[in-house]
Amino acid sequence: MPETVLVIGGGPAGLEAARSVAAIGGRAILVERRGVLGGTPDESSYAALTPRMGSAQDALDELRAGVADPAIDVRLETLVTGCSGSVGDFSVSLSGPGGESSERVGAIVVATGFQHFDPGRETQMYGYYEYPDVITLPDAEKMLKEHTFVRPSTGEPPRNVAFIQCVGSRDRRIGNEYCSKVCCGVASKEAIEIRRLLPDTKVYIFYIDMRMYGYWENEIYWPAQEQYNVTYIRGIVTEIVGKDGRLLMKGEDTTMGRPLEVLMDVIVLSVGMEPSRGTRDVAGILGVDQNKYGFIATPGEPMDPVSTSVPGIFVAGAAAGPKDLEDTIGMAGSAAIRAVAAVRGQAPAQPAAAR
């Protein structure tokens, strides 16, 4: 029925969007490609949330409970395979465990998220696929979720650990010029967790700019330095090579203006965000414009961060680009309101301040 909103993606953005639609009296179909709800925080085993270290598991459980509502029809292991029609009356094809089906919906919220940058694809210089002790933020998160942090090559605790920021972000060579927004906070959070687990381990973060915006400054950045003795070094890492079973990190300390050559036991690459395959696929199926990075374009920014190029189709969360959890929850609310208004025919003729 066209009174329904289709929400594509069962991560934080999609869960909050569907919950919000139901909270204001609307109906939603929530489609998720995997067999469980939770999205990337679930799939990548997030442990503690930035900045307040709350349990990701508890937060996801609460988001999942929010869609246990008779007004929300949750379809797991389901993909959107086609779409026609326009605002107020879209016809979408779904492919799920029960076969193909077609649904009529009045509006659509795209919440297909991001994927972590794969450091093996282009940046062979960091040796992610060569050295087992070179890992990524989500690899580290997986260990921290099990309350452990070891050198993958030996299973022993590392004596020192370095995070390298902006891997796959702020990098013109690979085409990702944008900043991925959350990696400074996530790396600092993981650094604190490592220091809590292993008080004798030294932890370094090599960065260009520490983007600890808003309260992340006082809630993570200062405690990381003052309570947990995490060492922040403004510098550029150019190369990692194996040496005597450890990792030799070469680069430049740009504050001290001198070359940098240090041995590390574990190096964590702070990989950024790229559009997920789901985001790229769904954009094509729905016919919404993508920006040059492949994320869903939102031409009405900053006054309208959720309208896409197609009336009646909205976007929430990291499907539109790098977003933190607060951005995602806010966007989900905004998208839900605009979607329900579109369904009810109360939408303004064009997105607000689309310029």
Contacting positions for a second copy (CB under 8 A): 12, 20, 23-25, 49-52, 54-55, 58-59, 62-63, 66, 170, 177-181, 209-218, 222, 234, 254-257, 301-306, 321-327, 329-338, 340-341, 344, 346-348, 352-353, 355
Spatial CA neighbour of 47 closest among 182, 126, 143: 143
The Cα–Cα gap between 293 and 214 comes to 26
Q: How far is the CB of 236 from a second copy (least distance, A)?
A: 12
Nearer Cβ to a second copy (160/276): 276
Q: How far is the CB of 242 from a second copy (least distance, A)?
A: 31
Residue pair 183/270 in contact by the 8 Å Cβ criterion: yes
Q: How far is the CB of 89 from a second copy (least distance, A)?
A: 19
- Which residues have a Cβ under 8 Å from the Cβ of 297 and sit 6 or more positions away? 288, 289, 290, 291, 308, 309, 320
Distances (CA, A) of 155 to 72, 135, 193, 266: 45, 14, 18, 11
The Cα–Cα gap between 124 and 144 comes to 26
Nearer Cβ to a second copy (145/159): 145
Nearer Cβ to a second copy (134/166): 166
Q: How far is the CB of 131 from a second copy (least distance, A)?
A: 29
Q: How far is the CB of 269 from a second copy (least distance, A)?
A: 19
Nearer Cβ to a second copy (77/293): 293
Nearer Cβ to a second copy (66/294): 66
The Cα–Cα gap between 158 and 145 comes to 17
The Cα–Cα gap between 177 and 288 comes to 22
